[in-house]
A and B are shown apart, each in its own frame.
Chain A
Amino acid sequence: KAGVTQTPRYLIKTRGQQVTLSCSPISGHRSVSWYQQTPGQGLQFLFEYFSETQRNKGNFPGRFSGRQFSNSRSEMNVSTLELGDSALYLCASIPDSTGELFFGEGSRLTVL
């Protein structure tokens, strides 16, 4: 069974730009969560999608948004990038039955 796939793995942007990150969950998983990981703040919850609906949202500004498609693939978007948005963005795929998070390898975003 293929794991969680995140693309791109690495990217560099400049302040003010926007970025879109993609996540393909494990086949059969309908729930996807996104987390931001930084050295200073650790792992912080961004949002969760289940069957194309946002089910939960963390405490991040409106510049951070996401969506989920009918095939459960998810994207997150960050607009008007700031230096502090530099982080590892992790996507987690969750089976209906257990609630355990299966993480991808992450997308490392550097904002210059």
Chain B
Amino acid sequence: GESVGLHLPTLSVQEGDNSIINCAYSNSASDYFIWYKQESGKGPQFIIDIRSNMDKRQGQRVTVLLNKTVKHLSLQIAATQPGDSAVYFCAENWGYGQNFVFGPGTRLSVLP
């Protein structure tokens, strides 16, 4: 959408396939992570979160994996649908308060 990066990395997948979106986070002290989806003209929408004491969490059609050793997060979307087309952001948080640091985002494009 017009509110997000013009040159974002793009992942194109066929409808029905699984999608994997990756994110490298910045701070080894981060203890809370969230994946957000942003559609054109809208604010980011919460998808799933995970705390640093876990390495995997599942939601409806989505799974988040956390690898603290290499500071890496991934979001897996099963049976990707056209409505999943959007920009996806990971966000990390540490310490006191709610000042999240967001990744640059990945644009997911679902092909018919």
Contact = CB atoms under 8 A, between A and B. Distances in A.
Interface in B83-109: 89, 91, 93, 96-105
**B42, B43, B96: residue with the most chain A Cβ atoms closer than 10 Å:** B43
**B45, B93, B96, B100: residue with the most chain A Cβ atoms closer than 10 Å:** B100
B5 interface: yes
Contact of A99 (B4, B5, B98, B103): B98
A45 B46 contact: no
Nearest to A58: B99
Chain A, interface SS category = strand
Interface string B1-42: 001111000000000000000000000000010101000011
A99 B97 CA distance: 9
Chain B, interface SS category = loop
- Contact residue range for chain B? 20 to 34
A92 to B, nearest CB: 8
Contact of B104 (A4, A42, A48): A42
Contact of B98 (A37, A39, A56, A105): A56
B79 to A, nearest CB: 25
A103 B45 contact: yes
Interface in B34-62: 34, 36, 41-46, 49
A42 B103 CA distance: 8
Contacts of B4: 37, 39, 42
Contacts of B41: 105
Contacts of A102: 46
B105 A42 contact: yes
A99 B32 contact: yes
A108 interface: yes
14 contacts: A4-B43, A31-B98, A42-B103, A43-B44, A43-B89, A43-B91, A48-B99, A55-B98, A56-B97, A56-B99, A100-B34, A100-B49, A101-B100, A103-B44
